[in-house]
Structure 1
Amino acid sequence: MSDSAHLLKKAIKHGEFFNLYQPLINASDKQIMGAEVLMRWQHPAEGLKNPITFIPEAEEKGFINKMTSQQLKNCYDELRPILIQNPDFIVTINISSNHLLDAKSVRELIHYKGLIPNLVLEVTEDVLVDGNDDRIQKAFIKLTAAGIDIAIDDFGTGYCGLHYLGQLPVKYLKADKCFIASIGTDSINSHVLEMIVGLSKKLNLITIAEGVETPQQVAHLDILGVEIHQGWHYNRAMPANELIHYIELTKQQVTESEEHLKVVGTVSE
C-alpha cells in the first residue's frame, strides 16, 4: 500500500474527515432552504486539506465509499435538529460512479433517504454519460424508486447529451460557478448561462447557481428566474452548529420584521 493510501486509510479510522455545510438559498425570499454537504480533511501534519487534494485519489484507491458512509452518518447526526423542525430541508451530497457501481453504497443511500427526507445526490456530467452502463442505470432506477432526487453538478462544463437528461431521474441543474462569474461581462459563458436556465425551464428542472458572490449576480439571476442560489454572497461553508445558529437567527429576524410590519399597518389604519 502506498504512503498516500495508508494515510487515507488511517484518516478514515481516526475520523479525520469532517463536514462543512454551504447553505442553499431560496431565491424568492432569500431564506435558507437547504445545504450542500462538503467534505474536508483535518490532516494531523498538513492541516486543513481541500477535497481536490484527496478525493480523486480516494476514488482511485477505493476509499471514497467508506468516506461517504462516514459523511452521511455525521450529516444526519449533525443536522438532526434542523431535520426535526423542517423535514423538507434539502441536503445535497456528492457521489461518483464508485457509489453507483456498489450495491452496498446504493442500499446505504436509500437507508439515509429514510432519515433525511429531502436527500439529493449530486453527480457530474461524466457520471450521467456513463448511464449507458447497465449497472449505473439500475442504480439510478433504485434510487429514484426510493424517492431520491438527482442534481447534475458543474453543469455546462462537460458533455451531457440531451437524451440523458430525458432518460435519467434528474431534478436539478447546478450551473457551474464559471458561468456565474461571467455575469456582466461579454464572455460567451454569460450566454451559456442563459441557455442553461432556458434548458432547465423547458425540461421542468430546477436551476441552482453556484458561486454567487456579488449583489449584481444576485440581481441578474433573479431576472433569469434561477430558483436556488449558493455562494459566498450569502454564506461561506460552515460547521453544522453555525448553520443551525444562523437559521435560528434568520427566523428571528423574519419574525421581528413581520411583527414590525403589523405594527406599522395598525398605526396607519
Structure 2
Amino acid sequence: MLQRGIERPEEAAILARRILDVVNAPYRLAHHGVTLGLTIGIALAPGDGSSCDRLLKSADMALDRAKSEARGAFRFFEPEMDARIQARRLLEQDLREALVAEAFELNYQPIYDLASDRICGFEALLRWNHPARGRVSPAEFIPVAEEIGLIVPLGEWVLRRACAEASRWPDGIKVAVNVSAVQFTSASLVTAVRDALRGSGLPGRRLELEITESVLVANPGATTAILHSLKGLGVRVSMDDFGTGYSSLSYLRSFPFDKIKIDQSFVRDLGAPNGTDFIVRAVIGLGDSLGMTTTAEGVETEEQLATLRAEGCDEVQGYLFSRPVPVEDVPAVIRRWNGAIHRAIA
C-alpha cells in the first residue's frame, strides 16, 4: 500500500492502525465467524530509501521486526534493522563455512553418580571458536542454525564426533548428547544415531540422548514412535530441563524415559527461603516411582550437593565437579574423581 502526501510519520501510523482495526474486525462466512490477523511494516521515503526496491526492502525488514515482537501490530523501519540483517547474514555465512570445515568442537561436562561416588558419564556441549568473532555462544548460533536448516547436519556431526570420542573412554563411561526439537523431527535422526554407533563402535547403552518437553508437544504419536526406535538401538533417552516447559505427566506415562533432568533453575534456589526444595523433592520422588534416574544440573555448592544426596537424587553435574572441558582433558577429570581422592566431597 502506498500513502502519499503525508508530512509526519504519525500520519502513516494512523493509517496503519485504521487498517488493522478494519481487517481484524470479525465477519461471517458461510455461517462461521472469521477473524483475520494482519501485521504491517512501514518505510518512509526518502529517508528509508529513494527507490522502489529499497523502500520495499526497508518495509520488509520492519515487517520482520513486527512479526518477531508483536504480531497484529505495526513497526517503522529503523536504520539499525538493516545493520542487524547484515550481521545476521554474515553469521549465517560463517555458520555454513564452519560446518563444511568442521570448525566446531565438543567440550564435556562430567556427570557424577552419587551412589557409587564416581563419574559415570559426560554431557557433550557444542562450542564454536570463530577466528574473528572469538567464542560464539550456542545461544546465539544454535537458533540461527535451526532457522536456516543447518541444525540437522550439525546435529549429526555432533553425534558422530561424540560417539567417536566416547568410544575411547573407559567402558563404564557414557556420553549424553542434546537433540534439538528441529533435529528430532528429521526423518534421518534414527539413521544418524545408528550410523554414529556403528561408525564408532560405541555400544548403544553408552549413548544418552537428551530431549526437551517441547519435542513431545508438536506430534506426540510420531515422537513416541521415534523414541521407541531409538530405544531399540539400546540408546538411553532423558527428558531435559524437566519442569520448565509443559511438564505434562502424560509424556512420562506414554513413553518410559530412562532419566529426568532437573533444571538448574531449581537447583540454584535449594535451601533458600521459599526455595525450590519441595519441587526438587517431588521430581526425585516421581522419578523413583517411575523407575527413572534423576539428574540435577547446575550443582555449584557442597550445600546443594548435600541436599540432593539426602533427597535421593541419583546423579549430579555442575561447576562443583568441573566446568566443561576439551576432550583431551577428559582422562584427567576421570582420574581426579574416580581415583583415590574421588571421595573428597562425598
TM range (shorter): 0.7 to 0.9
Residue 127 of structure 1 is matched in structure 2 by 215
Within a 5 Å distance, the mapping from 1:86-235 to structure 2 comes to: 86=171, 88-114=172-198, 115-117=201-203, 118-132=206-220, 134-235=221-322
**Structure 1 residue 142, shift from structure 2 partner:** 1.1
Q: Deviations over 1:58-105 (max 9, x none)?
A: 1111101111222122223323321xx31x322110002322222222
Contact 2:261-2:294 at 8 Å conserved across structures = yes
Answer with 1 or 2: which has the greater Rg: 2
Contact 2:113-2:120 at 8 Å conserved across structures = yes
Contact 1:96-1:123 at 8 Å conserved across structures = yes
CA distance in structure 2 between the partners assigned to 1:212 and 1:252 by the alignment: 21
Aligned-residue RMSD, C-alpha: 2.0
Query: Could you list the runs of 5+ residues in structure 1 that have no partner in the other structure?
Result: 258-269
Higher mean C-alpha deviation, range 229-238 or range 192-201: 192-201
Contact 1:91-1:116 at 8 Å conserved across structures = no
- TM-score, normalised relative to structure 1: 0.87
Say which structure is richer in helix.
1
Which of 91, 99, 115 is 1:12 aligned to? 99
- TM-score, normalised relative to structure 2: 0.68
SS in 1 for 2:106: strand
**Structure 1 residue 126, shift from structure 2 partner:** 1.1
CA distance in structure 2 between the partners assigned to 1:76 and 1:236 by the alignment: 20
Q: Deviations over 1:181-233 (max 9, x none)?
A: 11111234232111111111111111000000000011000100100010000
Q: Deviations over 1:24-77 (max 9, x none)?
A: 001123211100000011112111122111111111111011112221222233
Contact 1:97-1:136 at 8 Å conserved across structures = no
Contact 1:175-1:209 at 8 Å conserved across structures = yes
CA distance in structure 2 between the partners assigned to 1:5 and 1:11 by the alignment: 10
Contact 2:181-2:214 at 8 Å conserved across structures = no
| Bigger relative contact order (CA 8 A; separation at least 6) | 1
Residue 244 of structure 1 is matched in structure 2 by 331
> Aligned AA for 2:107?
L
